[in-house]
């Protein structure tokens, strides 16, 4: 019998993943939104962009609430991720209260920077106005406290209790593709049928796919 963690390890084997780091206001919703995308393998919330050490939710100082994703560019390119980013929030400062919630992109390399510049110009034409997203190289990313990881799942104690039998540590749940999809499902970004259809196409052993779908459909809410 496969464990969920074993199936997910098989899911990411031989994939060349890319990381994207961005802010779209409060990080709970964006983590769920991007966690619903088939290209996204892992999601995590945290703090980036500032200079102060050891930021926390209560002492964020000059950092911004940030979501970091690992995704498969063979399924969705970085350009497609950026379009999803800009089309799902208003990127100008009059919508946000302070540095904590600004629209931000923290690029990981020069190729990402060039792609951001190209897509930004495209989106400015689409929106008909200049984009004020804060764009800087990623200097450091600090994980948010565990209560902010997969936040919408954690609003359902009964579901969380069932998932604890699948994930022996907080880190294993935080890094889980299955948990990312559940977080998106709870928030309404992906349907039950879409999750089942996606899992049926995952490049893992058939028995693992069946067990994952069974776990999903048997969850008691």
Residue-wise pLDDT tens digits, 38-66: 999 999 999 999 999 999 999 999 999 99
Q: Where are the beta strands (DSSP E) in the chain?
A: 18-24, 40-48, 64-71, 103-107, 134-137, 141-143
Mean per-residue pLDDT, 19-34:
97
Q: Using DSSP bridges, classify how beta strands 103-107 and 134-137 pair: parallel, antiparallel or unpaired.
A: parallel
pLDDT at 95 over 80: no
User: How far apart are the C-alpha atoms of 12 and 112, rounded to whole Å?
Assistant: 22
Mean per-residue pLDDT, 84-106:
86
Which phi-psi region, left, alpha or beta, contains residue 88 (left: φ > 0; alpha: ψ -120 to 50)?
alpha
- Mean confidence (pLDDT) of the chain: 93
Helix (H, G, I), strand (E, B), or coil: what is residue 186? Answer: helix
Choosing from 5, 12, 17, 26, the catalytic residue is 26
Residue 2's pLDDT is what? 65
User: How far apart are the C-alpha atoms of 146 and 171, rounded to whole Å?
Assistant: 9
pLDDT at 1 over 70: no
Residue 5's pLDDT is what? 84
User: How far apart are the C-alpha atoms of 138 and 63, rounded to whole Å?
Assistant: 12
171, containing H or E segment: helix 170-174
Residue 96's pLDDT is what? 63
Greatest pairwise CA separation for the chain in angstroms: 54
Residue-wise pLDDT tens digits, 166-212: 898 999 999 999 999 999 999 999 999 999 999 999 999 899 899 89
Of 23, 14, 66, the C-alpha closest to 41 is: 14
In order of start, what are the domains of the chain with their CATH numbers?
16-147 (3.30.1060.10), 152-215 (no CATH)
Hunting for tokens 């800087």 — which residue is that? 136
26 part of the active site: yes
User: How far apart are the C-alpha atoms of 202 and 8, rounded to whole Å?
Assistant: 9
| CB-CB neighbours of 57 under 10 Å | 14
Helices (H) and strands (E) in the chain, counts: 9, 6
Residue 152's pLDDT is what? 97
Of 154, 155, 160, 149, the C-alpha closest to 220 is: 160
Mean per-residue pLDDT, 91-105:
81
Hunting for tokens 């964020």 — which residue is that? 60
Cα 132 to Cα 106, 121, 135, distances in angstroms = 14, 12, 9
Residue 114's pLDDT is what? 98
Mean per-residue pLDDT, 111-119:
98
């Amino acid at each position: 019998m496969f464990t969920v963690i074993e199936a997910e390890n098989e899911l990411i084997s031989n994939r060349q993943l890319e990381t994207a780091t961005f802010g779209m206001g409060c990080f709970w919703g964006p983590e769920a939104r991007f966690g619903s995308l088939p290209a996204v393998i892992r999601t995590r919330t945290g703090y980036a962009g500032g200079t102060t050490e050891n930021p926390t939710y209560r002492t964020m100082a000059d950092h911004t609430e940030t979501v970091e994703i690992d995704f498969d560019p063979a399924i969705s390119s970085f350009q497609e991720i950026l379009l999803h980013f800009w089309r799902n929030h208003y990127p100008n400062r009059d919508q946000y209260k302070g540095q904590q919630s600004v629209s931000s992109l923290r690029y990981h390399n020069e190729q990402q920077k060039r792609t951001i510049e190209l897509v930004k110009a495209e989106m400015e034409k689409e929106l008909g106005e200049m984009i004020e997203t804060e764009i800087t190289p990623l200097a450091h990313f600090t994980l948010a406290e565990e209560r902010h990881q997969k936040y919408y799942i954690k609003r359902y104690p009964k579901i969380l209790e069932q998932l604890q039998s699948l994930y022996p540590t907080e880190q294993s749940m935080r890094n889980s593709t299955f948990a990312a999809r559940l977080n998106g499902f709870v928030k309404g970004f992906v349907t039950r049928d879409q999750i089942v259809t996606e899992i049926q196409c995952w490049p893992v052993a058939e028995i693992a796919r069946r067990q994952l779908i069974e776990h999903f459909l048997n969850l008691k809410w």
